[in-house]
Amino acid sequence: MNDPAMGRHFAIVAVRFTGIAFILLGILALRGAIDLADGAGYVLIAVGLLEVFLVPMILVRRWRTPRQ
């Protein structure tokens, strides 16, 4: 099974999971559970939100099959 759609779907899911991980790390940083500055926590949350909501839409548009 050498379907490029399967690889693209996996990439989109992986981007979303890394975004969720960034959000969780940012929350942990803000709560003081890990030793990071508050600014780094806010940056991690912002980047995570972009990866969860914006990057998958960009990838879908980029990989869309061209109209004929």
∠ CA 23-40-24, rounded to 5°: 20
Q: What does the pLDDT read at residue 67?
A: 81
Tokens representing 59 are: 């990838």
- Going by C-alpha positions, the residue among 66, 68, 27 that lies closest to residue 45 is 27
Residue 1 has pLDDT above 80, yes or no: no
User: Which stretches of the chain are assigned E, i.e. beta strand?
Assistant: none
Per-residue pLDDT of 21-54, as tens digits, reads 999 999 999 999 999 999 999 999 999 999 999 9
Q: Percentage of the chain surpassing pLDDT 90?
A: 84
Tokens representing 33 are: 């559970």
List b or e across 50-67, with b for residues whose CB sees 16 or more CB atoms inside 10 angstroms. Answer: ebbeebbeeeeeeeeeee
* Span 4-20, average pLDDT: 94
Q: What does the pLDDT read at residue 66?
A: 81
